[in-house]
Structure 1
């Protein structure tokens, strides 16, 4: 039994496909299959049910996979201990980013970070918050960028910035003549939302629940992207709320539809999060410093009121 073989079965368990797993870990599919078969022969068991599509773990495979994950994670921590002692900032670093942050924040810091720390090989994945929490706890991610607070005892949160909510209100909307928005102006039935699973959507719902204008949660139009919400809004189907950084890419022609809130502006907290047992702290500190540096000039808001996502029941 080798660490490599354990990495292979973890990859197949994650992707539920021998082909996809081989692509992700940069080996040929025959090599991966042969090594897993050797491990199964050594243990005299079947780890995967290959007749199922997608590939599924057997009952004994389910029991083995958690132990395999622990062994692989602990083996990687040996190198982390050495890197800490040497002050080395490099190696593979797996970073998750939520969808409502990735398109705006990533272009702002990635080139800067790569130039400053060329020995770090970032593996970046776009994931929702629930997936991020699971992958951090399972050791699949070294860190992530997400909206907080999450209040998970096993996850540390380091706030990076506070991003105000901004209204996108087309002409002829009931609020188009207002210079500044107020929270009581909001009506949940009049707001175009992201589809379920996005924490920014949850933050808006939570914000509207503090408004006297909020009615029942009736969501007739939802989308997976802010761009679609803006287009729907331009068609007269309602207003929407955007994170401030997203408004920087809106065309000059449509900037007139942007409305800011009276202070304190509702905002979300965006943090760098990682396991309380994480050892790659040099890379985490480097990421924190680079992102904080580039974001400082982009968001000049200071008087904000943090809106947390609604808690799922």
Structure 2
């Protein structure tokens, strides 16, 4: 807006100066003959004045058209908002400049003590704190070094044992690959098997003798108490019962239960082996029992 006003002011000043010059109607003498200027120059000046008046009339007409269309007002509003924003930025710049000057002055006003005692004390305090921190770090590093050394020692011990085991196994493998060693191993296995069989037969014989001595055959449940001499009666032998349980445990490990048929056993013998932990009942069917699995 101020640019347009300045431009108009310049144009108006030029027009006023021109009108003043024309109004004086000064006669300029010719430098050649000393007479007044010719009428041809006056005609030129008159034509320029008429042309200037026409231009001013056209300029005023354009201004009226511009103001009527509203564009002038919009331009003024836009320029006014920009000027207002620019003014706000200038004010903020001035305020920031003031704050900056105050901060600079405050920094310059910090007084440092002339006595170096304060500086020495501060330095000693920082040095003492640094030394303490380094001592703590050294303790931590020493502890980590001790733990790492102990772990390394254990790993070396394990490695040494593994190497010894590897050497022994390699020796065993080399020995086993030799025909004499294989034959000797086969003989030793056969002898071991024979010893186990002999030991098994001995144990079974002792078990049968013990059962026959302490648990003789007894009439089954439901047998008559009084029988005539020479009559046969069904009896329950604990040795046969244990033998059946062991055979089922070996031959049918997936289903080692023995079904107790009424009239073929004596209940006290069944309860004896169950309470002794030799046999257990089927949790789903109490008439079935199996040998306890004594394998380790």
Report if TM-score (shorter chain) is over 0.5: no
Question: When you count strand as a share of all residues, which structure comes out higher?
Answer: 1
Structure label with greater radius of gyration: 2
TM-score when normalising by structure 1: 0.19
- State the TM-score, normalized to the length of structure 2: 0.20
